[in-house]
Amino acid sequence: MVGKELFNIGMGEEDDGDGFIKGVKEGKGKFEGNERFKEFMDVLDLRLNEGGLGKVIF
């Protein structure tokens, strides 16, 4: 649930969120290596670690 809610933050930081998702669907883009989504995962890791749930690997 937390990841779903926070995912919008990563998308909101993209200059062209719709274009980014279209590129991912077409195989031209990916989440891995994307700096904005790395930052999103850092926030998610922090939230999960503070709650004692461990680390998320993306």
Q: Can you read off the two tokens belonging to residue 38? A: 């790395």
Task: Compute how many other C-beta atoms are within 10 angstroms of the C-beta atom of residue 32.
Answer: 8
Q: What is the model's pTM?
A: 0.59
- pLDDT, position 22: 93
Residue 11 has pLDDT above 60, yes or no: yes
Q: What is the pLDDT of residues 29-44, one digit of tens each?
A: 888 888 888 888 887 7
- pLDDT, position 8: 77
CA nearest neighbour of 9 among 34, 49, 37: 37
Residues 14 and 27: their CA atoms lie apart, in Å, by 17
By residue count, the chain amounts to 58
CA nearest neighbour of 34 among 46, 23, 47, 49: 23
- pLDDT, position 23: 92
Spatial CB neighbours of 11, under 8 Å, sequence gap ≥ 6:
17, 20, 21
